[in-house]
Amino acid sequence: MSQAAASAARPLPWAPRIVPLLCFALLGGLTALRGDTAMAITATALSLLIGWLALVVFGWLLAASTKGAGLREARRAVTRGFLLLIPFTVLALVAGLGLDWDSAGAFASAGIMTSSTAVGAEMAAGGGRGPAGVVLTLLFGTALSAVWITCTSTGVPLLIQAVTEILSGMPGGGLS
């Protein structure tokens, strides 16, 4: 077995699997940074949930749609591809905290699209579907980007309002 094949057969350590999730959480928190603290915390949690669901579903879709690729190979490709969120997260942090720009959503969308395409390239390099796999991952990236923008721009305020109303209507007053 060649060294490249041996390194590809080893599972990734846990740390690289956490990094994309941290990037999702930071990007979500930066998106809601202009709001109050509750909104930023909720956006961070919601972004972490969206990121985790997206990575899991993406791995399942790739495993199911790529002939000969198992779930382990698909998850590895997703993890490696979404490590490309790191530079976009760093740029969003510099822009948001250093330059006081409200551009985290743009960096998140660009990072998601780039990472999704990188996942397709990872699968193609590993003997996946080639250009068709890249197109599939790009379509998934587009859908994820649209969900991300929708949830972080409108979903968070609506979620906070809904939770507040539910808790206020509870017996005993909830938040009131």
Which H, E and C letters describe the chain, residue by residue? CCHHHHHHHCCCCHHHHHHHHHHHHHHHHHHCCCCCHHHHHHHHHHHHHHHHHHHHHHHHHHHHHCCCCCHHHHHHHHHHHHCCHHHHHHHHHHHHHHCCCCCHHHHHHHHHHHHHHHHHHHHHHCCCCCHHHHHHHHHHHHHHHHHHHHHHHHHHHHHHHHHHHHHHCCCCCCCC
**More confidently predicted of 60 and 70:** 60
Q: Is residue 9 part of a domain?
A: no
Number of domains the chain contains: 1
Decide if 94 is inside a domain.
yes
Residue 150 lies in domain: 14-164
Q: Name the pLDDT band for 36 (thresholds 50, 70, 90).
A: low
In a domain, 5, yes or no: no
Mean predicted confidence (pLDDT) in 10-30: 80
* pLDDT for res 104: 84
Is the pTM of the predicted complex or chain greater than 0.85?
no
Residue 170 falls inside a structural domain: no
